[in-house]
Amino acid sequence: MKTNPRYLGDVLTTAVAPAIWGSTYFVTTSFLPQGYPLTVALLRALPAGLLLLLIVRKLPTGLWWGRAFILGALNFSFFWAMLFVSAYRLPGGVAATVGAVQPLIVIALSRLFLGNPIRPLAVLAGLAGMAGVGLLVLTPKAGLDPVGVAAGLAGAVSMAFGTVLTRRWAPPVSNLTFTAWQLTAGGILLLPFALLLEPSLPAPSAANIAGIAYLGLIGAAFTYLLWFRGLSRIEPSAVASLGFLSPVVATLLGWLALGQSLAPAQIAGFAMVLAGVWFSQRATMPVRPIRPAASPEPANHPV
């Protein structure tokens, strides 16, 4: 038996999304005004969704209106809101480690909603990835805030439900259209909260505009197109495990761009995260049989 190269290509393509998401912290802290989490989330989702809608020129019909808003809330509105609450109330390492429980939640939800088996190797891979994220980003002085931890877990559950339901509800449209629906719905749901709970943004600088454009076009439209494409082709638990790559990229960017140091524990965390991702893919990777070599033609001997 050998691995399916098409499947490997789908995994690598999908992995680009969480790798790019790892740059979100660097872009947010370096290019955006601080203290506007809901407004930034709104500007990340709604313009990108509307732009994609202009490209596809197709609106939901029937029950897909409701499904688009449910998935938009799970994958964007509620998830991003809880993510920001967690990030503001917890040290970054604690928030990342709490969020890393998501692949384990996806495994349980996949069993419940999709009937997928719970594979011990996938569970062990999820635990290894979570431990690796902890080594990668936790510090000895990290504190625990109950509200922050609850928000982090709520965000992980929200994204896990969004991941599984995206696969279960396989839409009758292209991934580009499906991404446009969800981003637009998520942005619309964020709009009243951003207007009511946060002050108006100051006049944006060129750096602010560049940062928002990057987060919207690359960090949302492009990456979620790849993410939803992956969910249509790969088992949800395998896709969710790729999310471990985000803190890896964030740590590497902190080292390369911000001059942060790498401790031996972080290097061990890198290894554990990559091992967790690898074993998660192995647990769900389809294989194809190796074709037996053709039998040689019998020699023609003279009688």
> Model confidence over 2-11: pLDDT tens digits?
567 788 899 9
Could you please report the per-residue DSSP string of the chain? -EE-HHHHHHHHHHHHHHHHHTTHHHHHHHHS-TT-HHHHHHHHHHHHHHHHHHHH-----TTHHHHHHHHHIIIIIHHHHHHHHHHHHS-HHHHHHHHTTHHHHHHHHHHHHH-----HHHHHHHHHHHHHHHHHH--TT----HHHHHHHHHHHHHHHHHHHHHHHT--SS-HHHHHHHHHHHHHHHHHHHHHHHSPPPPPPPHHHHHHHHIIIIIIIIIHHHHHHHHHTTS-HHHHHHGGGHHHHHHHHHHHHHS-----HHHHHHHHHHHHHHHHHHHHH--EEPPPPPPPPPPP----
> For tokens 């062990």, what's the residue?
124
pLDDT for 26: 80
pLDDT for 282: 85
Please state the pTM of the whole predicted model: 0.85
Q: How confident is the model at residue 294 (pLDDT cuts 50, 70, 90)?
A: very low
| Intra-chain end-to-end CA distance of the chain, in Å | 42
> For tokens 């890393």, what's the residue?
100
pLDDT for 191: 96
Using the predicted structure, report yes or no on whether residue 296 has a pLDDT greater than 50.
no
Contact at 8 Å (CB) between 249 and 23? yes
- Tell me the torsion sign for CA atoms 171, 172, 176, 179: negative
pLDDT for 265-293, tens place per residue? 888 888 998 899 998 888 887 755 444 44
> For residues 36 and 66, which has the higher predicted lDDT (pLDDT)?
66
CA distance 105 to 110: 8
pLDDT for 213: 94
Size (the chain), residues:
303
- b/e for 10-29, b at 16 or more Cβ within 10 A? bbeebbbbbbbbbbbbbbbe
* Cα 7 to the center of its chain, rounded Å: 18
Q: Which amino acid is at 24?
A: T
pLDDT for 1: 42
Instruction: Give the mean pLDDT of the chain.
Output: 85
